[in-house]
Amino acid sequence: MSSSAEPAAPGGVRPVRLGLDPALEANGFNVAGAVSIERYDGLVPPRWRAAVRRPGARHAIVLAAGGPDFFRAFRRSPEASGRSDHPVDDFARRIVDAAARPAGTASYYWQRHGGRYADFVELGRAAGLGSPGRLGLLLHPEYGPWLAIRAVVLWDRALELAPSAALAPGAFCAECPAPCAGACPGGALPSEGFDPVACLGTRRQRSDCAVRCAARHACVIGGEHAYDPDGEEYFGRAALREAVPVK
């Protein structure tokens, strides 16, 4: 990673490039933001805090992948043809761990420290990457719902970063007519917010919803950055395999 960054974009949302290791962007990690260690520690469980994971860290850098580039890079990787149960996670860890050395320690959304996960959506919001939206996802101002937050790096070195302004939940949805709600065949987007039980139940019952989210495609932000069909199907089926059964 590099020790410099571009200025924050209007509204507090950071630009795509933070001047990080070029290998990150080459492999689809094209969105990043940072928060102070004090702010990070206030958002994560005790065993995730810097004093435990990386004593002396000065920033927490949140790394995300916007659009289809991450999956395209994964498809070219050795992990894609391996026998791991979680090849995408293995690919992400290899790329991020290499970029973080020697001045950082990475943690990932699928990991537990002290038996607990961290809230990566809230970390992304704090880092200025977007706002939680009606779809239950973090909405990025450019990529919309086509964004996946995959890692956070506790970083020892200085970063020339202006403080980010975290966007309020629903910032992009407040004045939107919500075409996503009408596009969802399972009624998982009522006016009061995202219904994950209804979403999962519909995806288990309808083969089309298992591999393509009509509501996500209906979002008015970032449609040009939608995942390739094979990538969306891959992630959709993987999410179903990992989901807690509906009771």
For residue 245, is pLDDT > 90?
Answer: no
Percent over 90 (pLDDT), the chain: 76
Model-level pTM?
0.88
For residue 76, is pLDDT > 50?
Answer: yes
For residue 54, is pLDDT > 60?
Answer: yes
What is the pLDDT confidence band of residue 13, given thresholds at 50, 70 and 90?
very low
Of 207 and 243, the one with more pLDDT: 207
Averaged pLDDT for residues 161-188 = 85
- Tell me which long-range contacts 93-96 makes (C-beta under 8 A, separation of at least 24): 95/23, 95/24, 95/27, 95/29, 96/24, 96/29, 96/63, 96/150, 96/151, 96/153
Q: Which of 44-53, 140-149, 189-198, 199-208 has the lowest mean pLDDT?
A: 189-198
CB-CB contact of 40 with 159 (8 Å): no
For residue 159, is pLDDT > 90?
Answer: no
Beta carbons within 8 Å of 38's beta carbon, 6+ residues apart: none
Strands across the sheet containing 147-155: 31-36, 59-66, 147-155, 104-108
C-alpha dihedral over 128, 129, 132, 138, to 10 degrees? -170
What is the pLDDT confidence band of residue 191, given thresholds at 50, 70 and 90?
confident
- At 21 the pLDDT is 84
Q: Where are the domains of the chain?
A: 10-155, 179-242
Instruction: Give the tens place of pLDDT for each residue, 160-171.
Output: 665 566 788 888
- At 120 the pLDDT is 96
CB-CB contact of 33 with 66 (8 Å): no
Q: Which of 6-10, 15-19, 198-202 has the lowest mean pLDDT?
A: 6-10
Q: How far apart are CA 12 and CA 33, in angstroms?
A: 10
